[in-house]
Chains A and B, each alone.
Chain A
Amino acid sequence: MLEIRGICKSFGGVRASRDVTLTVPEGHITSLIGPNGSGKTTLFAQITGFLKPDAGSVHFLGEDITGMAPEAIARRGMVRTFQIVQPFTGQTVRENIAVGAHLHRASRADALARAEEVAHRVGLGDRLDLDAASLTVAGRKRLEVARALATDPKLILFDEVLAGLNPSEIRDVIPVIRDIRQSGITIFMIEHVMQAVMSLSEYSWVLNQGEVIAEGTPAEIVTDEKVIEAYLGKGMAKRIAERQGIHA
């Protein structure tokens, strides 16, 4: 459904994407993981038109969308959320979500009705008339999800929607994400919370310093030597293996 071919991006000396190639299949939850600063958000920004790749191309539903404007990409059915939440402060939760709902709905009444429906779906039904600025972190993350969902997308890119939430909030949001997948929307998510990756994602790519260093099911990923080293530092994989040998 989404194909990324040989994406490269540098910021001065920092190589944020190095020849990234991957294909997101339709109908699944897949994920992008990697240590801080490994280039995950930058990759999302290039996929959704916020940044232009230095080289490579992005294809969505068979169409080359490299260099297209974000709004044009959203209209084709791919939307992203922001790691650093971006609510329309001063507007109510309902109005915030309605902006997304308007993408395919010209009528104000239809968009507001749709916003209400989506708010209930993500658990914001009781906060419809609150100013978005008054929401908690967890509430704002839900709002990001709701606005994206209200555009009736085919593919949603979630950038760390669970980061900053406490374990009970994470437990509350996981079923929401699963429910979105169930309704036929493909999900590609960046996630740091391994608990969520393990329980939600069917397939993952691991980025390190802008490069895909591993891919596979979550179970395969967590035992991958290169992945462990990327997260925990050089030599850790070996030490862990040794220690497991001692305990065995």
Chain B
Amino acid sequence: MRQLVILAVVFAFIAAAPAIITSEFTQNVIIMVLYAALLGQAWNILGGYGGQFSFGHAAYFGTGAYTVAVLQVQLGVNPWIGLVIGALFSMAVAAFIGFATFRYGLRGSYFALVTLAFAEVLRILSNSVGFTGAGVGILIPLAPGAANMQFETKTGFFFLIWVLTLSSFLVVWWIGHSRFGASLAAVRDNEDAARALGVNAFRVKMGAIMLSGLFSGLAGIFYAQYFLYLDPYIAYGPAISVESLLVPIIGGMGTLFGPLLGAAALHVVSEATRELIGDVPGISLALYGALLVVMVMFMPRGLAGLLARLGVRRRAASGEMPRA
């Protein structure tokens, strides 16, 4: 309950931002942080809560993004309908990859490599078929208006991503307080012990990967509508997969607020590097790699873990004062 209250307060606070902050630049920063938090929270469901480290979340992101774009461009389907279809497609791709990997008991680095391979296959496919615009990419024609999910102001996009991100956080809150979440954590911590207690590990992992794919797909759909351009490298490339996992790893895997902390921190770090070094090609991937190593080595529990530790220390300190 306490977590839900904090969640409500944090998101209410964020919702007030567009009314206070009128600068388009700053509004864009908040939008991109919320978007990264959604991407990270999606990965966190499967990786953080389920312990299944995917290196190929671009598979779901790209499927969502391409679905909404291709439906609009090739078939003239409204993006709001495209959002529903895209989310379902992302989930279906996740179900397929989940089935193919969990059925055969792939774990650890095998699972990671196979998910990476699936994302790469999709990238190559989208690069070679015509209806995705192949290597040239696909441009969603400009048609401003909320009805076309192309808001005329940043505020419109802000509330779209606010709703999507909040919904992912609510689902993760529920995971932390449900039988599904307890089973998922049990499978993560010891699959054999979980199964001995009646947990259907396969079904639980399938549920996690499908939820994960759903939210990753929603992030992709948002991306497509916000930037109106996709190519195979943007949609299915490794950068999205790495960003998906880096956000919760920085923020704290398996925690509700980790992805939000991680998204904000990652944004600050990337902006700072851009200021210092400039737009060198490939610099962001190099930076991500370095961050990943640092986090895994020195802060395995992420920023959320650090905050928790500081909280404990402060409480311990104030507890000692009367005695001193």
Q: Which residues of A contact B (CB under 8 A)?
A: 48, 50, 69-71, 74-75, 79-82, 86-91, 95, 98-100, 102-103, 105-108, 111, 147-148, 150-151
Considering the chains assembled together, what is the distance between the CA atoms of A105 and B179 in angstroms? Answer: 8
Q: How many residues from B make CB contacts under 8 Å with A?
A: 19
* Chain B residues within an 8 Å CB radius of A106: 179
Q: Given A71-B199, A71-B200, A88-B186, A102–B179 Cβ distance below 8 Å?
A: yes
Closest 3 CB pairs of A and B: A74-B198, A86-B193, A88-B189
Within 8 A of A (CB), among B41-83: none
Considering the chains assembled together, what is the distance between the CA atoms of A148 and B193 in angstroms? Answer: 10
Considering the chains assembled together, what is the distance between the CA atoms of A69 and B194 in angstroms? Answer: 12
* Chain B residues within an 8 Å CB radius of A150: 197
Structural contact, A50 and B183, CB atoms closer than 8 A: no
Structural contact, A91 and B179, CB atoms closer than 8 A: no
Q: How far is the CB of B233 from chain A (nearest CB, A)?
A: 37
* Chain A residues within an 8 Å CB radius of B195: 50, 69-71, 74
* Chain A residues within an 8 Å CB radius of B185: 88, 91, 95
Interchain Cβ contacts within 8 Å, total number? 79
Structural contact, A95 and B182, CB atoms closer than 8 A: yes
Structural contact, B197 and A108, CB atoms closer than 8 A: no
Given contacts A70-B196, A86-B196, 20 further A-B contacts (CB under 8 A): A50-B195, A50-B196, A70-B195, A75-B198, A79-B196, A79-B197, A82-B192, A82-B196, A86-B193, A87-B190, A87-B193, A88-B193, A89-B189, A95-B185, A99-B186, A102-B183, A103-B197, A148-B196, A150-B197, A151-B197
Q: Given A86-B190, A108-B177, A74–B197 Cβ distance below 8 Å?
A: yes
Q: How far is the CB of B208 from chain A (nearest CB, A)?
A: 16
* B178 contacts chain A at the CB level, 8 A cutoff: yes
Considering the chains assembled together, what is the distance between the CA atoms of A69 and B201 in angstroms? Answer: 10
* Chain A residues within an 8 Å CB radius of B177: 108
Considering the chains assembled together, what is the distance between the CA atoms of A147 and B199 in angstroms? Answer: 12
Within 8 A of A (CB), among B250-272: none
A-B pairs with beta carbons under 8 Å apart, 30 shown:
A50-B196, A70-B192, A70-B196, A71-B200, A71-B201, A74-B196, A74-B197, A74-B198, A75-B198, A79-B197, A79-B198, A80-B196, A82-B192, A86-B190, A86-B192, A88-B186, A90-B189, A91-B186, A91-B189, A95-B182, A99-B194, A100-B198, A102-B199, A103-B197, A107-B179, A108-B179, A147-B193, A148-B196, A150-B197, A151-B197
* Chain B residues within an 8 Å CB radius of A82: 192-193, 196
Q: How far is the CB of A49 from chain B (nearest CB, A)?
A: 8
Complex: chain A residue closest to B301, CB-CB:
A90
Within 8 A of A (CB), among B285-309: none
Q: Which of A70, A74, A90, A102 contacts B182 (CB 8 A)?
A: A102
Q: Which residues of B contact A (CB under 8 A)?
A: 177-179, 182-183, 185-186, 189-190, 192-201
Q: Which of A50, A69, A99 contacts B197 (CB 8 A)?
A: A99
Structural contact, A111 and B179, CB atoms closer than 8 A: yes
* Chain A residues within an 8 Å CB radius of B192: 50, 70, 82, 86
* Chain B residues within an 8 Å CB radius of A102: 179, 182-183, 199
Structural contact, B189 and A148, CB atoms closer than 8 A: no
* Chain B residues within an 8 Å CB radius of A87: 190, 193
Structural contact, A88 and B198, CB atoms closer than 8 A: no
Structural contact, A98 and B197, CB atoms closer than 8 A: no
Considering the chains assembled together, what is the distance between the CA atoms of A87 and B194 in angstroms? Answer: 10
Q: How far is the CB of A83 from chain B (nearest CB, A)?
A: 12
* Chain B residues within an 8 Å CB radius of A80: 196
Considering the chains assembled together, what is the distance between the CA atoms of A107 and B194 in angstroms? Answer: 18
Q: How far is the CB of A151 from chain B (nearest CB, A)?
A: 6
* Chain A residues within an 8 Å CB radius of B196: 48, 50, 70, 74, 79-82, 86, 148
A70, A79, A99 interface centre (most CB from chain B within 10 Å): A99
Q: How far is the CB of A91 from chain B (nearest CB, A)?
A: 6
Q: How far is the CB of A70 from chain B (nearest CB, A)?
A: 4
Considering the chains assembled together, what is the distance between the CA atoms of A232 and B55 in angstroms? Answer: 55
Complex: chain A residue closest to B203, CB-CB:
A71
Structural contact, A98 and B182, CB atoms closer than 8 A: yes
* Chain B residues within an 8 Å CB radius of A99: 182-183, 186, 194, 197, 199
Q: Given A86-B193, A88-B185, A103–B198 Cβ distance below 8 Å?
A: yes
* Chain A residues within an 8 Å CB radius of B201: 71
Q: How far is the CB of A133 from chain B (nearest CB, A)?
A: 10
Complex: chain A residue closest to B181, CB-CB:
A108
Complex: chain B residue closest to A88, CB-CB:
B189
